Structure 1
Amino acid sequence: MKKGIILLLIIGLMLSCEKNEVNPSDIKQIGYGTSFGMCVGYCKIDMLLKSDTVIYSRSGWNNQVEAIDCKENLTRLSWDSIKKAVDLKEFFSLPEVVGCPDCADGGAEWLEVENFSGKKYKVTFEYGKTPEELETIVTALRKQIEKGIHCEEF
């Protein structure tokens, strides 16, 4: 009887432990962007990817420029490909800040992953100096963000 209770307690404790890893199928959305602190004009470029849409945004640090947002459909194949490019174990092993983002106006890049339970994790790094652990996903996101670079200009 005691062994049964102890076994149930151990199983309960194991099930209640929160994992720091997210399965790629649990990814709700992925955010990516760049920014430059000492900048006039469109200094921030962001992108939010969800299972069926991608939202591109460009903005400045003040009201000198009007923010631009545009949305387009994202195919299931593209979404699945992007999710698979994230090595979640490596991503979660990184600190929230890598290097010195935007020091001496060098710019910053960031990547954020949110799962369906609402848990988010964001890593910010120096522009153009992608951590080795994020090389695959950042390359894919840079290609994707180029598709929306001229949205709403015509």
Structure 2
Amino acid sequence: MKNYLFLLMMMGLLVSCEKNEGNPSEIKQLGYGTSFGICVGYCTNAMLLKSGSVIYSRSGWNDQVTPIKCTENLTQISWDSFKKTVDLSKFFSLPEIIGCPDCADGGAEWLEIEEFSGKKYKVTFEYGNAPEELKNAVAALREQYEKGIHCGES
């Protein structure tokens, strides 16, 4: 009987320690970035947000530009706020490419969402011309990116 109780307690402990990955249709991470095709210097800028952290990165089109990458903490309140700016049903209904991103070197912006289910979708649009469905999210992401624009610089 003692062995049986011990076994039940151990199973209970194992189940309670299992990591909760969230709802499969919930946002696991948000990616945002910009790029310019005809460019010298840091031509691509990206940011990856997930619970607890934000990763900023910048790079160029050649080896002359040293890529920069750094990580900062992201509060749970901020993370929850970012997730609320995106209506997932509207986001997933958008085409992958909107307009003519980076035509005539106008630049491109993108937003990529990955859910806990593994579903990943990216929408790319003309720089500074976010679709109506993404205006709030893009405005919040641009503001966050500006906070880390000099991250990793000496």
* TM-score (normalised: structure 1): 0.83
Query: For structure 1, which runs of at least 5 residues remain unmatched after alignment?
Result: 1-22
Moved over 4 A (4+): none
Check the 8 A contact 1:24/1:83 in 2, yes or no.
no
Compute the RMSD of aligned alpha carbons.
1.3
**Corresponding pairs, count:** 132
Contact 2:24 2:117 survives alignment (8 Å): no
Residue in 2 aligned with 1:6?
none
Q: CA deviation at 1:25?
A: 6.9
CA–CA distance in structure 1, aligned partners of residues 115 and 72 of structure 2: 21
Note the C-alpha offset of 1:24: 9.6
Residues 59 and 65 in structure 2, CA contact (< 8 A), matched pair in contact too: yes
Structure 1: how far apart are the matches of 2:88 and 2:141?
Answer: 15
Give the match for residue 58 of structure 1.
Answer: 58
1:93 counterpart residue number: 93
Measure, in 2, the Cα distance between the counterparts of 1:81 and 1:24. 19
Q: Secondary structure at the match of 1:45?
A: strand
Runs of 5+ unmatched residues, structure 2 = 1-22
CA 94–131 in structure 1, closer or farther in 2 if over 3 Å, else same: same
Task: Specify the code of the residue in structure 2 equivalent to 1:65.
Answer: V
- Alignment of structure 1 residues 5-154 onto 2, 5 Å: 26-154=26-154
Percent of aligned pairs with the same amino acid: 75
How does the TM-score come out when normalised to structure 2? 0.83
